[in-house]
Structure 1
Amino acid sequence: MSSPESVTSSISVEAENIGGIDSTEVSLQPGVNVLTGRNATNRTSFLQTIMAGLGSRRSSLKGDADAGHVELTFDDEQYTRYLERRNGEVVFEGDPYLDDPELADLFAFLLESNEARRAVRSGDNLRELIMRPIDTDEIEAEISMLEAEKRDLDDRLEELSRLGGELPDLEERRVTLEEEIDETGEQISDLEVTLDEFDLDVDASRNRKEEIESAFADLQEARTDLESIEYDLETERESYAELERERDDLEDELESIDEDDESPDRLEGRIQELRARKRSLDTTVSELQSVIRFNEERLANDGYDLELDASSPSDSDDGAITEQLLEDSDDIVCWTCGSQVDRERIDSTLEQLRSLRQTKLEDRNDLQEQIDEISARQKELRKQTQKRSRIEERLSTVEDELERRAQRIEELEADIEEQQDYVDELEENAETFEDTAYSDVIETHRELNRLELELENLKDERDEVEARIDEIETKVDERSDLESERESLDDELTDLRTRVDRIEENAVDAFNEHMSSILSILEYQNIDRIWIQRREETVREGRRNVTRTAFDLHIVRSTEDGTTYEDTVDHLSESEREVTGLVFALAGYLVHNVYEDVPFMLLDSLESIDSTRIAEIVDYFEEYVDCLVVALLREDAEALSDSYKYVREI
């Protein structure tokens, strides 16, 4: 199967003191590699060697050795792993192929102890196993981040909509201002013509006119400057008032945030501690379930069958009496010690185990509820901290701005007072020219000054309106980009929110599809169908009910007369159960794209499956794996293709 991590060259495996291996050097090829031989020929140890080199920690050090190592070489790269016994534990070091082997351990390294195979054999929670590699906490954190980005985009788009609504009014105002500017300009032109018509022939009169015009020109300029300063002061006061309102709002918002001595980092430590305890409980519950199921099966079979020797004392009268008593009693043979044990004692022990498992499940649910509550509290604390930090930073900025604007207001007020004195002085000077001979000229000048000042203000307002229109149009042009970005965020959020559901659905579909194909190939006589049904159930977690997804494994059989009926996994033969476990692991391998991380798959402990079906399974799996390594007995390997690579000595 082609993948980003395809193997294109031979694979060299060198190992020392791994499992039962003293030392070995073996060459493998892309495709199928068959490790064949009698029992106890280190085939499983060699698979553990490959696992160690690829990064797994589920490999063992040789019992009489203190250190061992593995070297994997392929595609011009070398990967090393060192194992050393320290303080009674095996420590792994080196540079393996994988940094995180979790996916490979679950769905690629399919030895007898593989969890996916065991889950099917034991009837454990298949959904929990297939979803274990998915970090739901990380998904929730990413969803929260994208939701915050989306809210920001929504605010910006809403602001653009509001701005877009201003444009018609601004356009209308611009047209009105243009008309008023034209009208005022015409009035100014008429007044200038009127002034030109005043005929002062004598030089003295002409000089007097020039003095009048100069005086009124100075007055107009002074009034314009005064109005400009007043406008600046009004703007500063409005800005100051707005900043005061913002400061009050920020202070109120800051007061509304509760002070909390709890630290998100300290809560993180608590969460990690609870998760570690939960994982430990998960392991305990799984082990208890396996023990309970094993004992239930043995109890259903009345323990081990005992055959009495015909020449033993059981042939005597006493033996006959003892046998009669045993037949009349409810004792069975204990499968741990081989002695006769009252069934009620075993039933009582089993009931205690079931009660212990239920207690552990309740403890696990309580821990999950604590984790959820603390995680929610941690998230809220982080939000509060970030919010407080933003408010305090903005409040500091507002205080600085208020101080700067207060100083500016004082300066402008002083400038206005000084300019007003100057205007008063010029007006007193202009009044000296108000005599009868020049009253019309003076009045015309005054009206002309007023109109010129009004024209200047109209032009300033028009320029502001046009600048605002350009600003809004520029921002509105960004709308399509923001809408595209928001649509992309929506798609990402939808993908994240449905990722868990899609993985579950894909896992179920993959299992059902491959199981159907495998059953049609292997031709088990009375199995019509094996499939997983995905359903939702309400379960109790601590003090609340929550909805969880469950995977139900269904088996449909048929009788010789064609009648179909549903069976349970407990009634599958060992061969059927192993095949189902392998297909479930293959589904996980494909759904989680494990082939993108590691292009190897290892198969072991297939003895319960007949050789013809083993050959069909290997052919089927070869299509999806670059390098398949399978350990088989010689008689089982004979049914496989001669084109495969065979390793007969390790």
Structure 2
Amino acid sequence: MKTVSIENIAGIRSGSATVKPGLNVVQASNFQGKSSFIASIRTVMGATGHYGDHLLTEGEDTGSVVLETNSDSYAVTVTREQGERPVRSGTPYLATDTDQVSARLFAFLGEDNPIRRAVRNGEDLTEYLQAPLELEDIDAQIRTLKEQRDAVDARIDTAETAAAELPAVQEKVTQLTTELESLRARRDELQQERVDDLQKGDPSDQLSSSKSRLQTVKNKIERIENRIERTTERKADKQSELDELTVPSEPVDSIDVEKREQRIAALRDQIHLIEDLYHANRNMLEDGDLDRITDVSRTVSGDDITCWLCGKESTKRELSGRLEAMQQTIEQLRADTNDLQEDITEYNQQQRLIEQRRSQHDRLEQERKQLGAEIQDLNGERRTYLSKRDALEDEIQALADQLDTTESQYTETLTDVKTEIRTKAARLDEARERLDTLDDRKSDLEGLREQQAGYETEIESLRTRKTETQYELKAAFDTAVSEIIDRFAPGFDHARFDIRTDPQGEIEGFELNIARDGRQTTVDALSEGEVELIGVAVALAGYRVYDVEDRTPIVLIDGISQLASAHLRKLIEYLEATTEILVTTAYPEAGDFEAHIISPDEWDVVSDRDPAPA
């Protein structure tokens, strides 16, 4: 059992009611707060503000709804600063955006339900059917996982290259070790032959050391020159990319986005206001008890009616014509809104393209400059080593000249052996260091492949989940339509979702396909009751696929006056089986219900203080 207490929400200034498990029927005439009670439940559940404003009583600055359950309490306050839209605060029953949006779209089925409204207007349903998926932003998750996977792929390439190079480097280490041992043995033999010649101060040691250092310097110069060549090529590549990159100029036709957005908001407010006026007068003209509010003279040729707004004599046909003119005004306002939105979208797309190209240009320019600085540093380092090389060559030449006059063939041989030993030892150290590096990279390979497989699994899981959910929506809608056709026997043969894909085969939307007498048709050719049944079927498909019954225990239904009383009862029976609590509205003429009846007799509603126009 749940108690709802209301202050200044929609048309209810104050009131409270108890909602029980099973069917709850708010039964009363027009202007008694039925739809406002449904709006109050949506408010405390947290499902207002999504696809519409928070529903604050006109002329009031604050309103609230408190929901008391057997174990918890939830309170929501709606406030409006001067000239601003209402803002919600507090603790609603539904805590997350996903739960709130899912309930708003698929469980709270009032006349202003976005899905029912979209079906009535023949609009694209894709945005609403995929809204819970968009809140999870699965595509962004996939992009992030792909970036992480690509980074791992690069590391795997490095590790695989290391694994392929490892045997050759290992062989090189073994070969250098063997050659170094042989050279050292040869040196020992020479030293044993001429022990007396290898006394301290022997110039061959100094010459050998200088030659070894010279070889090291030459190797360093060669590596630096190779790096300069590679870096110069990379810089040229960046320059080519810069030359090929075209940065668009600012759009010629600049627009004031904020001003257009303000105009859109104003148009939407006008649309909501005129729609409310249209529906209220249309319901009064078609379904209301006109005798209660105006004079009606019924004749054979038609009803003569005294307009309850202006007091002038008119006919039902003339009043219907005025309502049609009001509907055309609404459609024109919607067209104006769409034109403004398209201007904003096109302008924003141009701005994003300009920003992307500028960012790419700046990145390439920065990389080119960095490579240029790197080349300058390398050239400086090369000049330093060239100077060292020249100095060592002069030093070696001087030592060689000295040895020529004092040393025998033995000394030259020993010097060459010592030089080769030092060179081989340096190369062996480099090879061992390279071997350790490659071994470390290879050891990471298995773990990297596991990471790669993990990312692939996550990406595929997200893709599969999104695709399966979209196909589940199609299947669930087919099931709901089949159930409705069996129960209500409407005038259409079937309704289904056709799935729309992009060139890559990714599902990008749903198209509603309706058939009557074996031929495709549109909602414009259906009765209002049939259109509302299709809207309910679409909402139920989302309700089942997104497990909305696990998110909210309540389903709300309102504004189904287009259905006959018998069909309304069938719809209530149909929906009652899907939820723990079903709250619906009904006129007194609908008769008795086997349900918990909620009466607004004790409520203070707007119509009590502000009588309807004559």
What TM-score do the two structures reach when normalised by structure 2?
A: 0.70
- Report whether the alignment pairs 1:508 with 2:474: yes
Letter in 2 for 1:413: L
Q: Which residue of 2 aligns with 1:24?
A: 15
Distance 2:329 2:68 in 1: 51
Is the contact made by 1:174 and 1:465 (CA closer than 8 Å) also made in structure 2? no
* Cα distance in 2 for residues equivalent to 1:17 and 1:398: 67
Match status 1:110 vs 2:109: yes
Corresponding position of 1:483:
452
Deviates more, 1:504-513 or 1:137-146: 137-146
Question: Is 1:551 the equivalent of 2:546?
Answer: no
Alignment correspondent of 1:226: 214
Q: Is 1:630–2:584 an aligned residue pair?
A: yes
**Aligned twin of 1:39:** 29
What is the match of residue 640 of structure 1? 594
**CA deviation after TM superposition for structure 1 residue 627, in Å:** 3.5
Whether 1:250 and 2:219 are equivalent positions in the alignment is: no
1:221-269 CA-partner distances (Å, limit 9, x unpaired) = 2322232233333333333443344344434444544455549xx9997
Letter in 2 for 1:442: T
Within 5 A, what are the aligned runs for 1:314-333? none
Who is 2:122 aligned against? 124
The answer as to whether partners of 1:511 and 1:587 remain within 8 angstroms in 2 is yes
Contact 2:242 2:364 in 1 (8 A): yes
Deviation at 1:34, TM superposition (A): 1.4
- Computing the radius of gyration from Cα coordinates, the structure with the larger value is 1
C-alpha distance in 2 between matches for 1:238 and 1:282: 69
> Does 2:496 correspond to 1:532?
yes
Amino acid of the structure 1 residue aligned with 2:473: A
Q: Partners in 2 of 1:409 and 1:627 — Cα distance?
A: 82
What percent of counterpart residues are identical?
19
With over 3 angstroms needed to count, the CA separation of the structure-2 counterparts of 1:153 and 1:333, relative to structure 1, is farther
Uncovered stretches (5+) of structure 2, i.e. residues with no partner = 286-295, 308-312, 503-507, 603-614
How far apart in 2 are the matches of 1:364 and 1:250? 45
Count of paired positions: 565
Instruction: Tell me, yes or no, if the aligned pair for 1:603 and 1:631 is still in contact at 8 Å.
Output: yes
Distance in 2, Cα, partners of 1:526 & 1:411: 91
CA 1:359/1:148 → structure 2, altered by over 3 Å: closer, same or farther?
farther
Distance in 2, matches of 1:397 and 1:94, equals: 52
Residues 67 and 83 of structure 1 are in contact (CA less than 8 Å); yes or no, is this contact kept in structure 2?
A: yes
- Aligned with 1:78 (options 60, 74, 78): 74
Pair 1:569–1:179, CA change in 2 (3 A): closer
Structure 1 unaligned residues grouped into runs of 5+: 1-9, 199-205, 299-304, 310-322, 324-330, 539-546, 557-563
Number of the residue aligned with 1:602: 556
Structure 2 equivalent of residue 236 of structure 1? 224
Q: Cα distance, 1:469 vs. partner?
A: 3.2
Query: SS of the counterpart of 1:640?
Result: coil
Contact 1:67 1:85 in 2 (8 A): no
Equivalent residues of 1:53, 1:71 under 8 A apart: yes
- How is 1:419-434 mapped onto 2 (pairs within 5 angstroms)? 419-434=392-407
TM-score normalized by the length of structure 1: 0.67
Q: Which amino acid aligns with 1:473?
A: K
> Compared with structure 1, are the counterparts of its residues 605 and 250 closer, same or farther at alpha carbon in structure 2 (3 Å cutoff)?
closer
Residue in 1 aligned with 2:39?
48
Partner residue in 1 for 2:353: 380
Deviation at 1:519, TM superposition (A): 4.5
Task: Name the CA distance, whole Å, in 2 between partners of 1:531 and 1:593.
Answer: 22
Q: CA RMSD in A?
A: 5.4
Q: Structure 1 residue 551: deviation in Å?
A: 0.6
- Once residues 567 and 242 of structure 1 are traced to their aligned partners in structure 2, the CA distance between those partners, rounded to angstroms, is 66
* Whole-angstrom CA distance in 2 between matches of 1:565 and 1:237: 77
Shift of 1:591: 4.0
CA–CA distance in 2 between the matches of 1:18 and 1:279? 22
Matching residue of 2:293:
none
Q: Tell me: CA distance 1:570–1:470, structure 2 relative to 1, closer, same or farther (3 Å).
A: closer
Q: State the secondary structure of the residue aligned to 1:432.
A: helix
CA shift for structure 1 position 534? 1.8
Task: Render the CA deviation track for 1:141-178: whole Å, top value 9, x for unaligned.
Answer: 777666666665555555555555x42xx523542552
Letter of the 1:600 counterpart: I
Q: 1:187 to 1:553 in 2, by over 3 A?
A: same
Q: Is the 8 A contact 1:14 1:26 kept in 2?
A: yes
Task: Measure how far apart 1:21 and its partner are.
Answer: 3.4
The SS at the match of 2:406 is coil
Residue 178 in structure 1 maps to residue 174 in structure 2: yes
SS of residue paired to 2:74: strand
Distance in 2 separating the partners of 1:473 and 1:617 = 66
SS of equivalent residue, structure 2 residue 78? strand
Between the aligned partners of 1:576 and 1:155, the Cα distance in structure 2 is: 57
Which residue among 425, 439, 442 is the counterpart of 1:473? 442
Instruction: Go from structure 1 to structure 2 and tell me whether the alpha carbon gap of 1:153 and 1:277 turns closer, same or farther (over 3 Å shift).
Output: farther
Once structures 1 and 2 are overlaid, which stretch shifts more, 479-488 or 129-138? Answer: 129-138
Alpha-carbon offset, residue 621 of structure 1: 2.7
Q: Residue 196 of structure 1 aligns with which residue? A: 192
Describe the shift of the 1:367–1:20 C-alpha distance in structure 2 as closer, same or farther (beyond 3 A).
Answer: closer
2:363 maps to 390
Q: Deviations over 1:265-295 (max 9, x none)?
A: x99974994798599699979x99x99xx99
CA distance in 2, matches of 1:210, 1:128: 92
Residues 356 and 548 of structure 1: CA distance in aligned 2, closer, same or farther (over 3 Å): farther
394-403 or 567-576, which moves further after superposition?
567-576
Cα separation, 2, equivalents of 1:618 and 1:639: 10
Q: 1:482-502: per-residue Cα shift (whole Å, max 9, x none)?
A: 532552464267459xx4x65
Counterparts in 2 of 1:331-480, with a 5 A limit? Answer: 338-339=314-315, 374=347, 376-434=349-407, 439=408, 441-467=410-436, 469-474=438-443, 476-477=445-446, 479-480=448-449
Q: Which amino acid aligns with 1:419?
A: L
Q: What CA deviation, in whole Å up to 9, does each residue of 1:581-620 have, x standing for no partner?
A: 4333322333455556654322234566577765554454
Give the aligned residue type for 1:509. Answer: A
1:420-479 CA-to-partner distances (Å, cap 9, x unmatched) read 343333323323333xxxx45435424533442453255245325524532542454454
Q: Deviations over 1:555-595 (max 9, x none)?
A: 56xxxxxxx99998678676655544433332233345555
Residues 79, 96 of structure 1: 8 Å contact kept = yes
Note closer, same or farther for the CA distance 1:575–1:140 as it changes in structure 2 (3 Å cut).
Answer: closer
- Of 524-533 and 221-230, more deviation after overlay is shown by 524-533
CA distance in 2 between partners of 1:566 and 1:405 (Å): 73
Taking the aligned partners of 2:410 and 2:534, their CA distance within structure 1 comes to 111
CA distance in 2, matches of 1:510, 1:151: 37
Structure 2 equivalent of residue 559 of structure 1? none
Q: Distance in 2 between matches of 1:95 and 1:157?
A: 51
Residues of 2 paired with 1:24 and 1:231: CA distance?
91
Whether the 8 Å contact between 2:271 and 2:333 is mirrored in structure 1 is: no
Instruction: Quote the offset at 1:351 in angstroms.
Output: 12
Deviation of 1:480 after TM superposition, in Å, equals 0.7
Deviations 1:20-71 (A, max 9, x none): 4342233334x33513544255333322222333342667555686754333
Q: Is the 8 A contact 1:178 1:462 kept in 2?
A: no
Give the corresponding residue for 2:538: 584
User: Secondary structure of 1:631's partner?
Assistant: strand
Instruction: Report how far residue 414 of structure 1 moved.
Output: 3.3
Are residues 142 and 183 of structure 1, via their aligned partners in 2, closer, same or farther at CA, if it must alter by over 3 Å?
A: closer
Distance 1:610 1:72, change over 3 A: same
Amino acid aligned to 1:218? Q
- Cα-to-partner distance string for 1:342-369 (whole Å, 9 max, x where unaligned): 9xxx8xx9899989969976x8887777
What is the identity, as a one-letter code, of the residue corresponding to 1:192? Answer: D
3-state SS of the aligned residue for 1:69? strand
Equivalent residues of 1:334, 1:341 under 8 A apart: no
Q: Please state how far the C-alpha of 1:411 moved relative to its aligned partner.
A: 3.3
1:511 is matched by which residue type in structure 2? F
Q: Which amino acid in structure 1 is aligned with residue 387 of structure 2?
A: A
Q: Determine which of 95, 110, 115 is the counterpart of 2:90.
A: 95
